[in-house]
Amino acid sequence: MEHKGFTLWFTGLPCSGKTVLADVVADELKKKGMKVERLDGDIVRKSLTRDLGFTEEDRNMNIERVTFVAKLLSRNGVAVLASFVSPYNKIRAYSRKEIEDYILVYIKCSLEECEKRDVKGMYAKARGGEIKDFTGVDHPFEDPDNPDIIVETDKQSVEESKELILKALNDFGLLPN
C-alpha cells in the first residue's frame, strides 16, 4: 500500500520514553501496511555517527546526518520514526525546514521520573562525574518551541500516549484510510 511519507521526530530527556513510544507507534503503523523505518539515537551512534562525541557541535552534526537520512526516506513514502534527545531548538528547526512532512513529538517527562527509569545508571554516573555533558544533568535540554504533539509520559500510560500520537497523525491526514 502506498502512502505519503513523513518523519515523526521524538524529542525529550534521556529515559523519558522516546524509544518505547516510537517502537509501539511503529508497530501500529506497520499493522496498517505502512513502510516504516526507525532511527534511534543509541543505534545511530553505533554506526552512522560513531565518530561524534557530545559537544554541541557534534550533537548538531549527529542530528544533521539523521535529518538527511530521514528526509530521503520520508520523501520516498516511508514513515520515519526518529527518537533522539536532540536538545536544541535551533537544530530541531533545521530538521523541520529540511524534512517536508516533519512532526515534532515532545516526550515530556520530569527529570525525577527519568532518573527513576534509568536502568543503565547514566544519570547517577553523570551526577558522580563519570559521564560529562549528560543532558538533564550538566548539559541543557531546551523545551521545544513549537511541538506538534506533546505527550506527558510521567502522567500518561504508554497506551494513552500512543493513542494520542496516532490520533494526531490521523488528524494530519498521514494515516491510510
Residue 106 lies in a domain: yes
Closest among 166, 156, 126, 154 to 26, alpha carbons compared: 166
Q: Which of 86, 110, 157, 161 is catalytic?
A: 86
What is the domain-level CATH number for residue 124?
3.40.50.300
Local structure of residue 4 (DSSP, 8 states): -
Q: What distance in Å separates the CA atoms of residue 9 and residue 102, rounded to the nearest whole number?
A: 7
Residue 130 lies in a domain: yes
Residue 109 lies in a domain: yes
Residue 13 lies in a domain: yes
Per residue in 18-34, is it b (16+ CB within 10 Å) or e — as a string? Answer: bbbbbebbbebbeeeeb
Q: What distance in Å separates the CA atoms of residue 19 and residue 39, rounded to the nearest whole number?
A: 9
Q: What is the pLDDT of residues 99-146, one digit of tens each?
A: 999 999 999 999 999 999 998 899 999 999 998 888 889 888 999 999
Q: What distance in Å separates the CA atoms of residue 176 and residue 90, rounded to the nearest whole number?
A: 32
Residue 177 lies in a domain: no
Taking only the tens of pLDDT, the chain with its 177 residues reads 567 899 999 999 999 999 999 999 999 999 999 999 999 888 877 877 788 878 788 888 888 999 999 999 999 999 999 999 999 999 999 999 999 999 999 999 999 999 999 988 999 999 999 988 888 898 889 999 999 999 999 999 999 999 999 999 999 999 987
With contact defined as beta carbons under 8 Å apart, do 157 and 113 qualify? no
Q: What is the span of the domain harbouring residue 152?
A: 6-171
Contacts 24+ apart (CB under 8 A), 121-126: 122/14, 122/15, 123/14, 123/15
Residue 21 lies in a domain: yes
Report pLDDT for 43.
84
Residue 81 lies in a domain: yes
Task: Give the Cβ contact number of residue 89 at 10 Å.
Answer: 14
The yes-or-no answer on residue 86 being catalytic is: yes
What domain count does the chain have? 1
Q: What distance in Å separates the CA atoms of residue 103 and residue 112, rounded to the nearest whole number?
A: 27
With contact defined as beta carbons under 8 Å apart, do 150 and 156 qualify? no
Q: What distance in Å separates the CA atoms of residue 66 and residue 46, rounded to the nearest whole number?
A: 13
Report pLDDT for 2.
67
Q: What distance in Å separates the CA atoms of residue 147 and residue 105, rounded to the nearest whole number?
A: 6
Residue 63 lies in a domain: yes
Report pLDDT for 116.
95
